[in-house]
Amino acid sequence: MADLDLDPGALAALVEARHGDPFAVLGPHDVAGGRELRVMMPGAMGVQAVSGEQVSTLRPVHEAGLFAGRIPPGPYLLRIDWGNGVVQETEDPYSFGLLISDFDLYLLSEGTHQDIANCLGAQPMEVDGVKGVRFAVWAPNARRVSVVGDFNSWDGRRNPMRKRLEGGIWELFIPRLMPGAVYKYELLGPEGNLLPLKSDPFAWQVEPPPATASVVADIAAIPKPPRRERPANQAAQPISVYEVHASSWARGDGDIALGWEELGDKLIPYAVEMGFTHLEFMPIMAHPFGGSWGYQPLGQFAPHAPFGPPEHFARMVQRCHEAGLGVILDWVPAHFPSDQHGLAMFDGTPLYEHSDPKEGYHRDWNTLIYNLGRREVRNMLIGSALHWLERYGVDGLRVDAVASMLYRDYSRNEGEWVPNIYGGRENLESIAFLQELSRVIQQRCPDRLLIAEESTAFPGVTRKPDDHDGLGFDFKWNMGWMHDTLHYMQTDPLYRRYHHGEMTFGLVYAFSEKFMLPLSHDEVVHGKGSLIGKMPGDEWQRFANLRAYLSFMWTHPGKKLLFMGGEIGQVREWNHDRSLDWHLLDDPRHAGVQRLVRDLNRLYRDTPALHQRDCVAEGFAWSVMDDAANSVFAYLRFGEDGEKPVLVVCNFTPIPHQGYTVGVPMAGAWQEVFNSDAAIYGGSNMGNGGAVQATEEPSHGQPASLSLTVPPLATIILTPP
């Protein structure tokens, strides 16, 4: 070692895997008298440098695996003898220059790198004519970061990375590494402590749980989405969403979850036949625990591995589009699990989360809260949103748990939360993040949907971010409508007269935001039972109640969302480890509910008055809102000028009404285009014989009126011919 041109301290740091600047030691270096090459190959029997016809044998200079020697100028290959006849030839990772541009580093530091998915993480590429993988990770407080995997025996001494001081980014190009390689990062924390191996926050692919490593994705194999025309004003379009948990919609042989290919074969034609406009998947981002249903993700850029590689998910989206279905993904920028291989204390410090548990710990879900006041964290999440919208071409994101993001005291008692800088409870950093998110999406992909699951009265969720501090969402889940109306439907019809306002109250605020009406997975888990299980009465009444309620929902202002199983009258509560009970469709009552939902979707889509003015007051008028004694509701829906109006009449008692008068805007024939009590749906087949004549007798503030037969526990829909 006497002639090695290397400081002893640097040598010790290198062999002990604590050197923070490996390129200062490893690779080729000009020294007195020539060019010296140093490589760290623990376990190697010998190393040679091959420069054309010239072979230079490097001498071992430390028992830990450091080799060094003089080599001629110019390019070279390493020939590594691993013993037992195994010889590897490869380029030297430490012979390559800087990889990430200064402009990229500037954008990363500013938190404005909108193409971050193609900048950080594992990127297969060609550098100086050599194919390999460039790794890059943000860990500003780490003393040393190494890429480890099967390709280097998971030895952190082999491939330590170069730190770009400008942005706290560590980078390394490993030549000849191919897609499919499994890897993690090994880090020394700021105190020099060795941290648990970390998965790549920016990985495009991960191992299936319970394994936790990242995988080098074959990015070139992921088809790029073709350009797809979408309506500019989606508030005026029919949107009927089928919410799906991918691994429990249907199961394969051996009761295992289907992959994207098999799921698409069954789910896509089913959703099309049922008339839904969109599929919404509960989070398909990589998550370590299936029981979280995806709502505790760690891989914000990677599809969940058990369903197949990223290219299979991309093909699933394409197949949906080819069939005329939009795709919405649930997306979680609020919190993340504390698994030690994930984001928690990523570089030995609270990097992605808050340091104070009063801000950074979510007691409801035992998770950590993103520090959205940090620009790099915002950049990562906005980059994730764009990744799904642009790289995979999905049509929208439903942002989960927005209410928990908006308020610092969410689910916290007095003294357990930190006020904002003005002493208030609003989370100003989260509000700014959501506004930035909506602005970026509006700029980059203005035809995509951004939907909020938001359960409070926070104002302006669907207003533009520059319009009186709006958040910029396209739609907001109407949680109040869902809770009120479900409570009403669970009440015995004998007592519904005392809860009449629960069905009308939603119209008081229906046009204060652009709403989506959700009957989501949250209403059929944790002991809440199924939709059909909530309905009172005997078997006939339970099915009649469900049919009448779904018909009320499909004709009420607001876009629609129904969780899988609701359309077949699933009896048992949803179980994420079991398939839906498709055998129920052998029962005509369940098949009747399915047919009703299918017909409602088609009627909703084909009738402008039922969707064009979903979000404006001009699209709705009460005819009968105060008949609590009979639990009857009647209302009119209007489309744009020139479109035919629609009359909806709901009877939520088991008592039919003959000669029931309802005001309408015009005399003449009105067709009964839908009746939830029809025999084809399992009803008693009471109705108006397909048509009824309106007379010029004013009623309910309208110039004409109808005398109707209103079936028991039923909703009927009428329209002029």
pLDDT tens digits for 68-79? 999 999 999 999
Rounded to an integer, what distance in angstroms lies between the CA atom of residue 455 and that of residue 435?
18
Rounded to an integer, what distance in angstroms lies between the CA atom of residue 34 and that of residue 39?
17
CATH of residue 394: 3.20.20.80
Q: Which of 168, 190, 221 is the last residue of a domain?
A: 221
- pLDDT confidence tier of residue 213, bands split at 50, 70 and 90: very high
Could you tell me what percent of the chain has a pLDDT over 70? 99
pLDDT reported for residue 255:
85
Please indicate, yes or no, whether residues 125 and 258 belong to a single structural domain of this protein.
no
pLDDT reported for residue 2:
41
Write out pLDDT tens, residues 535-572: 999 999 999 999 999 999 999 999 999 999 999 999 99
For tokens 């944790």, name the residue.
Answer: 526
Q: Residues 188-202: what's their mean pLDDT? A: 97
- CB atoms under 10 Å from CB of 62, counted, come to 17
Query: Exposure string (b/e) for 616-630, b if CB count within 10 Å is 16 or more?
Result: eeebbbebbbeebeb
Phi/psi for 252 (5° steps) reads -95, -170
* Cβ–Cβ under 8 Å, residues 315 and 260: yes
- Is the pLDDT at 6 greater than 80, yes or no? no
Find which of 54-63, 255-264, 595-604 is predicted with most confidence, using mean pLDDT.
595-604
- pLDDT confidence tier of residue 54, bands split at 50, 70 and 90: very high
Q: Which of 95, 130, 164 is the last residue of a domain?
A: 95
Please indicate, yes or no, whether residues 623 and 532 belong to a single structural domain of this protein.
no
- Is the pLDDT at 257 greater than 70, yes or no? yes
Please indicate, yes or no, whether residues 603 and 657 belong to a single structural domain of this protein.
no
Rounded to an integer, what distance in angstroms lies between the CA atom of residue 288 and that of residue 304?
9
Domain housing 648: 609-719
Q: What is the DSSP letter of 207?
A: P
Please indicate, yes or no, whether residues 204 and 310 belong to a single structural domain of this protein.
no
211 within a domain of the structure (yes/no): yes
pLDDT reported for residue 82:
95
Please indicate, yes or no, whether residues 167 and 51 belong to a single structural domain of this protein.
no
pLDDT reported for residue 467:
67
- Is the pLDDT at 478 greater than 50, yes or no? yes
Please indicate, yes or no, whether residues 561 and 675 belong to a single structural domain of this protein.
no
Please indicate, yes or no, whether residues 422 and 557 belong to a single structural domain of this protein.
yes
Set 171, 453, 523, 567: catalytic member: 453
**For residue 165, how many C-alpha atoms fall within 13 Å in the half-sphere facing its CB?**
2
Query: Exposure string (b/e) for 343-374, b if CB count within 10 Å is 16 or more?
Result: bbbbbbbbbbbbeeeebbbbeebebbbbbbeb
pLDDT reported for residue 469:
82
368 within a domain of the structure (yes/no): no
CATH of residue 682: 2.60.40.1180
**Number of domains composing the chain:** 4
Please indicate, yes or no, whether residues 622 and 680 belong to a single structural domain of this protein.
yes
pLDDT reported for residue 12:
87
563 within a domain of the structure (yes/no): yes
Please indicate, yes or no, whether residues 526 and 596 belong to a single structural domain of this protein.
yes
- Is the pLDDT at 1 greater than 50, yes or no? no
350 within a domain of the structure (yes/no): no
CATH of residue 157: 2.60.40.10
Q: Residues 40-44: what's their mean pLDDT? A: 95
- Is the pLDDT at 657 greater than 90, yes or no? yes
C-alpha to C-alpha distances, 691 to 119, 655, 687, 714, nearest whole angstrom: 63, 21, 9, 17
322 within a domain of the structure (yes/no): yes
**For residue 387, how many C-alpha atoms fall within 13 Å in the half-sphere facing its CB?**
27
354 within a domain of the structure (yes/no): no
Rounded to an integer, what distance in angstroms lies between the CA atom of residue 277 and that of residue 598?
11
> Annotated catalytic, 400?
yes
346 within a domain of the structure (yes/no): no
Rounded to an integer, what distance in angstroms lies between the CA atom of residue 32 and that of residue 35?
8
- Is the pLDDT at 241 greater than 80, yes or no? yes
Write out pLDDT tens, residues 370-403: 999 999 999 999 999 999 999 999 999 999 999 9
Please indicate, yes or no, whether residues 55 and 44 belong to a single structural domain of this protein.
yes
**For residue 124, how many C-alpha atoms fall within 13 Å in the half-sphere facing its CB?**
16
The predicted model scores a pTM of: 0.95
Q: Residues 506-517: what's their mean pLDDT? A: 96
344 within a domain of the structure (yes/no): no
Q: Residues 337-344: what's their mean pLDDT? A: 97
Mean pLDDT of the chain: 95
Question: In one letter, which amino acid is 210?
Answer: P
Please indicate, yes or no, whether residues 594 and 621 belong to a single structural domain of this protein.
no
Q: Residues 3-15: what's their mean pLDDT? A: 79
Nearest to 475 by CA among 310, 599, 615: 615
Rounded to an integer, what distance in angstroms lies between the CA atom of residue 683 and that of residue 675?
9
Q: What is the DSSP letter of 387?
A: I
Torsion 163-164-168-169 (CA) sign: negative
Set 400, 484, 513, 567: catalytic member: 400
Please indicate, yes or no, whether residues 533 and 452 belong to a single structural domain of this protein.
yes
- Is the pLDDT at 4 greater than 70, yes or no? no
Q: Which of 574, 608, 642 is the last residue of a domain?
A: 608
Q: Which residue has the higher pLDDT, 14 or 332?
A: 332
